[in-house]
């Protein structure tokens, strides 16, 4: 069991204007791990995908609540949980396949592919009619530099 060194949690309405707020908040929390610009960017992108999924899929563009929490673990890892109480995913395995999308049109179907590529681990739990939770972790490289 990893020790939790710090944590936060928040909930927000599933409005698309909150996408930038959500990723910026998690990124700001993650800065205490002294991540590189690339690592911060990876976290922001993964959070943006997960939150967009809640808005577009879980709540089908209706209003519901999105619950976001994050923990800093003692091995320099950030663990992020993004949860909704929306419609749930019928087939999680299929939903995680690249280019699979139920809405078509302007959605690329790459949300999970981005999360899996940019984070170290992504776990999805979903129950139809109850909601979905996504837990992602990323270990932040420790930077030791003679130049400070």
Partner 1 sequence: MSAEINVTGEVVTAYLSGELDHHTAKQMRETIDSAVELNMPSLLVLDFSRVSFMDSSGIGLVMGRYRNLQKTGAALHISGTSPNIYKVMKLAGIERLAKLERGNEND
Site for partner 1 contains 111 (CB under 8 A): yes
| Contact range with partner 1 by CB under 8 A, out of 76-84, 102-110, 120-128, 131-139 | 102-110
- Asked if 38 is an active-site residue, the reply is no
* H helix and E strand count, the chain: 4, 5
CB closer to partner 1 out of 25 and 41: 41
Residue 50 to residues 34, 73, 85, 141: CA-CA distances in angstroms?
23, 21, 14, 23
| C-beta of residue 64 within 8 angstroms of C-beta of residue 14 | yes
Q: Which of 19, 53, 71, 83 is catalytic?
A: 53
- Asked if 76 is an active-site residue, the reply is no
Site for partner 1 contains 139 (CB under 8 A): no
Provide the H-helix boundaries in 1-148.
Answer: 18-30, 37-53, 92-95, 111-118
Q: Which residues are catalytic?
A: 49, 53, 107
Q: Enumerate binding residues for partner 1 (CB under 8 A).
A: 16-17, 19-20, 23, 38, 41-42, 44-45, 48-49, 52, 55-56, 105-108, 110-111, 113-114, 117
């Amino acid at each position: 069991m990893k020790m939790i060194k710090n944590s936060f949690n928040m909930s927000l309405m599933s409005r698309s204007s909150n996408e930038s707020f959500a990723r910026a908040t998690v990124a700001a929390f993650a800065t205490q791990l002294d991540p590189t610009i690339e690592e911060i960017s990876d976290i922001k992108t993964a959070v943006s995908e997960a939150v967009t999924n809640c808005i577009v899929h879980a709540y089908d563009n209706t209003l519901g609540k999105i619950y976001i929490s994050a923990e800093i673990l003692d091995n320099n890892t950030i663990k992020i949980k993004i949860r909704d109480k929306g419609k749930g995913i019928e087939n999680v395995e299929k939903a995680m396949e690249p280019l699979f999308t139920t809405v078509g049109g302007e959605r690329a179907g790459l949300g999970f592919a981005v999360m899996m590529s940019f984070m170290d681990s992504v776990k999805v739990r979903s129950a139809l009619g109850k909601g979905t939770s996504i837990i992602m972790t990323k270990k932040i490289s420790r930077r030791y530099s003679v130049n400070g």
